Amino acid sequence: MDLKSLIDTRRRGEPDLALMALIFVLAGIGIALNYSASAVYAQKTFGDSFYFLKRQLLWFVTGLVALFVFQEIDYKIYKKYTKAFLFISIALLGLVLVPGIGHSVKGSVRWFSIGPLSVQPSEMVKLMMVIYLVKVFSSENSRNHVIQLLIPMMVVAAVFMLILMQPDFGTAMDLLIVSVLILFMSGFPFLYIAGLFILSIPMFYLLIYQVGYRKDRILAFQNPWSDRFGKGYHVIQSFIAFKKGGLLGVGLGFGSQKISRLPEPHTDFIFAVIAEEMGLVGTICMIGLFLALFWRSVVVSISAPDDFGRLLALGLGLLIVVQAFINIGVVIGSLPATGLPLPFISYGGSSLLVNMISGGILLNISRYREAANQGVKINEEVWQ
Amino acid sequence: MNQRVFRIRIFISCALLSFVALIYVLRLFSLHFSDRVAVEDKDGSGLRRGKIKDVNGYVMAISIELNSLYANPSEIVNPSATAESLSRIINVPARDIKKRLSSKKSFVWIKRKLDDDKAAEIRRLGMKGLYLRREFKRAYPNDGLASNLVGFVGVDNVGLEGIEFGYNRVLSGKTSAFLPEEIDPGNTSGKNIVLSIDRFIQYISEKEIEKAVARHRAKQGIVLVMSVKSGEILALAKYPGFNPNYYFDYDDTARKNFSVIDSFEPGSTLKIIALASILEKNPGVLDKKYTCEGKIEIADTEIRCTGVHGTLTLQDIIRHSCNVGMIKASKSVTKKDLYDTLKKFGFGSETGIGLPGESEGILRPVEKWSGLSKHSLTIGHEISVTSIQLASAFSAIANGGIYIIPSVVKSVENPDGTLFKDYRKREGRRVVSGTVAKTLLKFMKGVVDNGTGTRAYSTLYEFAGKTGTSQIFSARGKSYTDRVISSFVGIGPYSDPELCMLVVIDDPADRLSGGEAACPVFKSVMEKVLPYTGKKKRPSGPYGLKRFRQGAAFDGNTMPDFTNMRLPECMRLLSEMQRSIDLEYAVYGGGSVRSQKPEKGEAIRSGQKINLYLSEKNDGRE
């Protein structure tokens, strides 16, 4: 591989500026909210209210570099490495489960510790899985549908189970939903997708009702008031944040629910902090921002030059927006509790970095849009 | 990929996501307008949280009311008149008020944080469209005093710890801050809680335990002072404590109420309770003698003693806290009797003091005992007790064998200060006969006078007590560590017991025993607190002469016999001598007197220098 093929500058234009602006706005809001949500907790735990802010800023800068690097790398390159991605994904997930290597927090083994940093491989794995699935489903295939469906779905099932063993039900479900949506987008016949869905019902029954705490969470989600000081406590505290926030919020930094009421206010429940501090308007804007991000990825997708690019742009958009919607759903009590971060906003280095890389790839695809290509051609003619 | 299908599916997925987003937005609206959660305005209106007071009525927790005035301009009938009247009260130009009242909004602040008088005046106006919103702030005027007992409230004025938590319903006048359906409409204001705590005794106790924890670099320490006759807790001190005004700055170790929540192996203090069981069943053992060889083998386990104590009576066993003697004496009691006695004294079950998170400790039923258990229990192992259990049990002994359930809330008052309910009357139950209780008290006096607890000896009052030092069991290593919990539980004054006091020093870095670390705390608290309760001191003047052994008293001219005297006795005799003659003295070593200068019977002149040499070994005297 030579560098020239890696960075093919001849046939591309400017990246989608609206998309870039959206990413920066989201990440910027994330930094501000991170400080607001974590300051009290950080002061109490580490004696330094900037503890999380400093780390998140460092990750933000790293993510920014990643964004600009990846928006230079030709997205078509990834097609060649999907098998490697698959192998790395499964190896990483297997490795994190090995006792002594994986780093356990609150009973879940989701992280690697590298010096002072902890890295959550499942975030990276989701991105690599999306690229793999996009490659498989975007390629024209003469084999019959069952076989084309069977192998990737087995891969998804294996990765799903590995993530579930951590255990991380939220990330596993997120991956599954994104995978099915990519399958759907690729134009696969409905019949097969419906069949897949029906076949998976008994498996979900086992996965949920065989694990006590998952069942509890689901029951608690249906009626948090039935155990409001136990399993329903966090969701109710989150509701109170929404109520306290009112229309416009109490102002950034002035929320009180984040102080020892909301669990992990700077990670999984950061949306509740938004609700209290920025109010109903703030939360609706957040949902709007994520929808807008998805809309830009649809625009990039439609104008992408090849099937791989089209499906990849959509897949990356879905990766971000589905995770965001699961997280928000939990906080507003529409979904049972899981531990998924809110993309770009929640504290967490791996998550932010992967989101920025996804953004970078999306931006890169946008540079090959057909209109832009024509522009380049014209330019080339002028130069000649 | 078929481009037409692809576009249709993009459209479907966009529709799907928009649909989810729409549902979320609807959900946000429903959360926003839901009246089921967080009705903060209603939370504040008309509901003032009750005070927490000490026994003398000094406030330990109070809610400060702040009034904020707002208006709904659409309800105001006459804006100019309203503005005029308000202007006079709140010193804001009528023009400005009128401007706000003419606003098109349905909510405008007029003035925030008004004091009570002005709020009352505005209320008297009785004008339509004007509203006062009460905002309460909980304040703890004594900062950290009795913080572990009083507890604290969270940001929404709901008790999270201590009395604030346990009596939240009484204090707030309702159950919950965010579930209106559970508000009892009959209760509109919170009631006051009067504690049995005396802030003077509490303060002394906190200062002394703080000093001790610092001196011994311990993990934590507590002092529990209990009124023997009523079972009321007069002080419940812990160091490190916390300041409830800034509770969020402290960790759980500081905020936890060790005295009721944590249990520990008591060690030797429990010998007194075991002895109660023995004496109750076999009064004959009082005449028996036991020999201590320094160790004893029970069920293939060697139990060591603190020394080789030789031949001992029961009283000596308690004085020296002899493990071997205790185990031998316990042969005359059955497992069942021992278990029943411990149960009667309140071990293995919650005392019912009514504080949140009370632990019942661990006392296994007889069926689960091993061959070693009975013997371990007599010396305070294989059992886990809370401080409050231990103090209550010893109070029962001091109270002539009548156990009274400990209490910390004296009464509940209505918001206007009138009595709502008095909790003081507590029925007692006999747990041991009066004779046995008296004997045990006498034995415990021996501990302070010349046993393991001499550091609690006071020239002002006579005390009885028992030391305890137990090794900390490491759950991780599944074995005993060399770290200790040192304790002393004492009673004073001896002749008419008034107070029972427990001192626990958890994990002193210097590994000192209960006699060394806890006794001085007991002594200094008691010497300050007993005069305050009005107890008479020992008779002054040439006191205690007859307390000395034959030939050991000072006759005014010749040197008395100090042999075998322990330090407190020496000091007593020396100070006795200083009353009649001018002399200097020096005491070397520790333990009991082995030699003295001048020798016994030598003449003593004014300005005489006396040297006493003490050592520990061969302490099997009397």
Question: Strands, DSSP E only, in B241-394?
Answer: 263-264, 290-292, 295-298, 301-304, 310-312, 385-386
Chain A residues in contact with B29 by the CB 8 A cut-off are: 280
Q: Please tell me which residue of chain A has the smallest CA distance to B179.
A: A225
* A318 interfaces chain B, CB cutoff of 8 Å: yes
- Rounded to 5 degrees, what angle do the CA atoms A30, B247, B155 make? 60
B residues 5-44 closer than 8 Å to A (CB): 5-7, 9-10, 12-14, 17-18, 20-21, 23-25, 27-29, 31-32, 34, 36-40
Contact B32 A246 (CB under 8 A): yes
Does the pLDDT value for residue B619 go beyond 60? no
Q: Tell me the mean pLDDT in the region A76-97.
A: 87
Contact status of B105 with chain A (Cβ, < 8 Å): no
For A243, the closest of B2, B20, B38 (CB atoms) is: B38
pLDDT digits (tens, 9 = 90+) for A114-139: 666 677 888 889 999 999 999 888 87
Question: Confidence class of residue B253 from pLDDT cuts 50, 70 and 90?
Answer: confident
Residue ranges of the domains in chain A? Answer: 3-383
pLDDT at B46: 46
When pLDDT is cut at 50, 70 and 90, the band that residue B358 belongs to is: confident
Instruction: Give the tens place of pLDDT for each residue, B494-544.
Output: 988 999 999 999 999 988 888 889 999 999 999 889 888 877 766 544 444
Q: Among the listed ranges A146-150, B4-8, B140-144, B601-605, which one has the minimum average pLDDT value?
A: A146-150
pTM of the model as a whole = 0.52
Partner-chain contact A301 B10, CB within 8 Å: yes
Statement: residue A384 has pLDDT above 50? no
The model's confidence at residue B202, banded by pLDDT at 50, 70 and 90, is very high
Calculate how close chain B gets to A148, using CA atoms only, in Å: 14
Contact check, Cβ <8 Å, B37/A242: yes
B46-58 confidence digits (pLDDT tens): 467 888 999 988 8
pLDDT, position A328: 93
Q: Does B475 touch chain A (CB under 8 A)?
A: no
B3 has a pLDDT exceeding 80: no
Residue B38: list chain A partners with CB under 8 A.
Answer: 239-240, 243-244
- Chains A and B form CB pairs within 8 A to the count of 105
- For residue B410, give every residue at least 6 positions away whose Cβ sits within 8 Å of its Cβ, in sequence order, or none: B55, B194, B195, B196, B232, B422, B423, B424
Q: What is the pLDDT of residue A374?
A: 53
Mutate to test the interface with B, among A49, A185, A191, A302 (most CBs of B within 10 A): A185
Report the C-alpha gap between A332 and A51 in whole angstroms.
28
- Widest Cα–Cα separation across chain A: 75
pLDDT score recorded for residue A226: 58
**DSSP structure string for B133-167:** EEEEEEE-TTTTTTHHHH-EE-TTS-EEEHHHHHT
Task: Give the pLDDT score at A213.
Answer: 66
Q: Mean pLDDT of all residues in chain B?
A: 83
Mean pLDDT of B104-110: 76
Q: What are the strands, taking DSSP E only, across B231-273?
A: 233-239, 263-264
Q: How high is the pLDDT of residue A343?
A: 93
Range 260-299 of A in CB contact (< 8 A) with B: 260-261, 275, 280, 283-284, 287-288, 290-291, 294-295, 298
What are the backbone dihedrals phi and psi of residue B241, each rounded to the nearest 5 degrees, phi first? Answer: -105, -155
- The C-alpha atoms of residue A316 and residue A19 are separated, in whole angstroms, by 13
B207-228 pLDDT, tens digit per residue, is 999 999 999 999 999 999 999 9
ipTM for the assembly: 0.88
Exposure of B69 in the CB half-sphere (CA atoms within 13 A): 28
pLDDT in tens, B130-141: 887 767 778 898
What pLDDT shows up at residue A11?
63
The answer, yes or no, to whether residue B107 has pLDDT greater than 50, is yes
Hunting for tokens 């949140």 — which residue is that? B356
Instruction: Say whether pLDDT at B68 is over 50.
Output: yes
pLDDT at B248 over 80: yes
Residue B441 confidence class, pLDDT cut points 50, 70, 90: very high
Which residues on neighbouring strands pair with residue B68, listed in sequence order? Answer: B133
- pLDDT value of position A64: 94
| Residue ranges of A 50-109 with Cβ closer than 8 A to chain B | none
User: Nearest CA of chain B to the CA of A262: how many Å?
Assistant: 12
Kindly tell me if the per-residue pLDDT of A165 is higher than 60: yes
Residue B35 has pLDDT above 80, yes or no: no
Picking from B27, B29, B38, the nearest residue to A240 by CB comes out as B38
In A146-165, the residues whose Cβ lies within 8 Å of chain B are none
d(CA B578, CA B341): 48
What pLDDT score does A12 carry?
74
Q: Which residue of chain A is at minimal alpha-carbon distance from B34?
A: A243
Answer whether B195's CB lies under 8 Å from B54's CB.
yes
Q: Identity (one letter) of the amino acid at A94?
A: G
How sure is the predictor about A382, in pLDDT bands with cuts at 50, 70 and 90? very low
Quick: pLDDT tens for B69-98: 888 887 787 888 888 888 888 888 888 888
Tell me what pLDDT residue A68 has.
93
Percent of chain B topping pLDDT 70: 90
Q: Which residue has the higher pLDDT, A14 or B443?
A: B443
- State what percent of residues in chain B have pLDDT above 90: 32
Give A238-275 pLDDT, tens digit per residue: 887 888 788 888 888 777 777 666 777 888 888 988 98
Residue B26's SS3 state is helix
* B155–A contact, CB cutoff 8 A: yes
Q: Residue A371's pLDDT is what?
A: 54
Predicted confidence at residue B506, as pLDDT, reads 92
